[in-house]
Structure 1
Amino acid sequence: MTSASVLWHQAPPGRVALRAALLAGCVALAGCAAQKKPNADAATLAAATHVHNGPPALTLFTMVNNRTGAGGHTSLMINASERVIFDPAGSFYADVVPERNDVLYGITPSVVLAYRGAHARSTHHVVMQRLEVTPAQAQRAYELAVSNGRVPGAYCANSTASILRQLPGFEDMKVTFYPVKLSEQFGARPGVVTTKYYEDDDPDLQKALAEGNVTLSQ
């Protein structure tokens, strides 16, 4: 059974290519745009490793436009042998959060709050859908995420759905370019707990990212 809560705080190849191009223009401001962040080295990733003591789980993040209801970005937090966020073509950055090939490492509780808060603003809210899974499912998701490679802009939902459908028990997931459609699919799975998070601050994503970086660095 699914549950929900709300938190408030101040096609064919040619058609697929066209759809992706149109989506790129729509979602860039929400966070789903190809980034050129440098890949962290192995030593940096190892030093940042965060093992979360909760059960193995997948948490789907969907950034939704408050005016239109359209999805702006998709990402997936994976709690396995370590906790990471697969942030395909994502904009999030922080000095204490190393990244390699669209995977964010060192996902402590403070980083989760910063990630959520950066994407929630007057223009968008964040839908978080958490599902406890088996250790094998979580670890497989982790392995697929870290081996996936960088994702082109506007392919955030597509790449996330592609990873999910490779997990045992998730073979019925349909691959889509649309974050909200992916969220609806994921949310229909038994056991998913859905939370919506809102903030009413500055709509500028880059400003929110910079402020979050300062907070995490203190």
Structure 2
Amino acid sequence: MNRRDFLKATLVSGVALGIPGAIHPILGSLDAAEKADLAVAYGVSPAKTTKAAIDTLGGIKKFISRGDIVVVKPNIGWDRTPEYAATTNPEVVATVVRLCYEAGAKRVKVFDHTVGDPRRCYKQSGIADAAAAAGGIVSYIDARKFRDVKLPGIALKSWPMYTEAMEADKIINIPIAKTHNLSTLTLGMKNWMGVMGSSRGRIHQRIEGSLADVAM
């Protein structure tokens, strides 16, 4: 990849809210008509930056169709309030839920297989209240709704997965970037553990390969 292509790949996919208008001349000079598949948004408001990033990708209707059953999968894993940034920001979750409905989604479900007590995690994170206020159907994980799914993987050949996630028309994975003692950084792939059943501690024994297999 030469310098020009690198700049295209980096800048065409971004939106800089903190510097209004500053990026547009650059984009124009780099044939910015190309479609972005990655967006970076900066700003103070989580809701506004979330919408800006989605708009940069072509808008929510690029992903959600009328009548879709959508699962929004945040990280609600910990009994922590939003300022600790241990879980997905509730404003981000609420914004995505709201946008899905604006695109015509029939139902938008929000859930996570938490590490801590689910009632405390859902409440303390602020996600339950924010998602519900936006019209999201917030529920706790039901242990009866896991079923074994065959995986075309190397480390994992099958694993119990949550049926409501597997049967949705669309899944929107909304992690939060965090440091991790095994994987250094956790993002979307590790967030899939929130739809996995069984003894998830086993995943950490071969975390890189296992998460890659699930993501397939």
Q: Quick check: TM above 0.5?
A: no
In our comparison, the structure showing a higher alpha carbon Rg is: 2
Higher relative contact order, structure no. (Cα contacts within 8 Å, ≥ 6 residues apart): 1
Q: TM-score range by the shorter chain?
A: under 0.3
Higher strand content, 1 or 2: 1
TM-score (norm 1): 0.23
TM-score (norm 2): 0.23
